[in-house]
Chains A and B, each alone.
Chain A
Amino acid sequence: DIQLTQSPSFLSASVGDRVSITCRASQGISTYLAWYQQKPGKAPKLLIYAASTLESGVPSRFSGSGSGTEFTLTISSLQPEDFATYCCLQLNSYPFTFGPGTKVDI
């Protein structure tokens, strides 16, 4: 199975900050990676797919980059509604696997 690791696991930030989260795969997955945002008690929400394509309706302050084994989710200017947990999902090979998540908190 492909293992995904994320760093950091916890991130303390302020409104207006630029934050970046890294997702690393145990083997190359091309750009078969998606990023999700999850708030407590809610279902995940798709932010980015194909490593860098912004999902329709998602604010442009979110961006993704990377290919192969290293990927980054960047929030250019953190807004109050962005405090949440972010996780990555690889869809390159079965079984699909998720990263452990990064909690972005104040």
Chain B
Amino acid sequence: QVQLVQSGAEVKKPGASVKVSCKASGYTFSGYNMHWVRQAPGQGLEWMGWINPNSGATNYAPKFQGRVTMTGDTSITTAYMELNRLRSDDTAVYYCAKERRGWVDYWGQGTLVSVSS
């Protein structure tokens, strides 16, 4: 069965960077885009972008362009999302979620990133 297992919670200071990992299993990792979505405490979901693990192609939401980098390592079926120049309003749960024929189906369990001085 499809599983997306994310790395553990992180606490960062403003201005720092965070890199969240998403280990995929149960499907052909290189065959499907991986999306990243975040959810601030008590707020709705916000789409950040996707990466094609096979080609390395990415599509980032304009809001995060220049500050986010999504990568994938097909040898270990793991996707990564790195967010730089963190601010307090980046405090959120970050999710990876795989795409299937244009639709976002399975989600990871989420990774809480807290940004505080």
Q: Which residues of A contact B (CB under 8 A)?
A: 32, 34, 36, 43-46, 49-50, 55, 87, 89, 91, 94-101
Q: Which chain B residue lies CB-closest to A100? A: B44
Interface of B is mostly: strand
A-B contacts at CB below 8 angstroms, number: 51
Q: If A43-B95, A44-B45 touch, does A95 touch B107 (CB 8 Å cutoff)?
A: no
Distance in angstroms between the alpha carbons of A79 and B59 in the assembled complex = 38
Q: Are A50 and B103 in touch, CB under 8 angstroms?
A: yes
- Does B66 lie at the interface of the complex (its beta carbon under 8 Å from any beta carbon of A)? no
Q: Which of B47, B49, B103, B108 contacts A98 (CB 8 A)?
A: B47
Q: Are A95 and B103 in touch, CB under 8 angstroms?
A: no
Q: Are B63 and A99 in touch, CB under 8 angstroms?
A: no
Contacts of A94 in B (CB 8 A): 59, 61
Q: Are A99 and B103 in touch, CB under 8 angstroms?
A: no
Distance in angstroms between the alpha carbons of A55 and B35 in the assembled complex = 19
Q: How distant is A103 from chain B, measured CB to nearest CB, in Å? A: 11
Q: Which residues of B contact A (CB under 8 A)?
A: 35, 37, 44-47, 49, 59, 61-63, 95, 97, 102-110
Interface of A is mostly: loop
Q: Which chain A residue lies CB-closest to B6? A: A43
Q: Are A46 and B59 in touch, CB under 8 angstroms?
A: no
Q: Which of B35, B37, B62, B105 contacts A46 (CB 8 A)?
A: B105
Q: Are B61 and A43 in touch, CB under 8 angstroms?
A: no
Distance in angstroms between the alpha carbons of A98 and B108 in the assembled complex = 18
Q: Which chain B residue lies CB-closest to A4? A: B44
Distance in angstroms between the alpha carbons of A26 and B23 in the assembled complex = 36
Q: Are B109 and A43 in touch, CB under 8 angstroms?
A: yes
Q: Are A95 and B109 in touch, CB under 8 angstroms?
A: no
Q: If A43-B95, A95-B47, A98-B44 touch, does A34 touch B104 (CB 8 Å cutoff)?
A: yes
Additional 12 contacts, C-beta under 8 A, given A43-B108, A98-B37: A43-B97, A46-B105, A49-B103, A49-B105, A87-B45, A91-B102, A91-B103, A95-B63, A96-B35, A98-B44, A98-B47, A100-B44
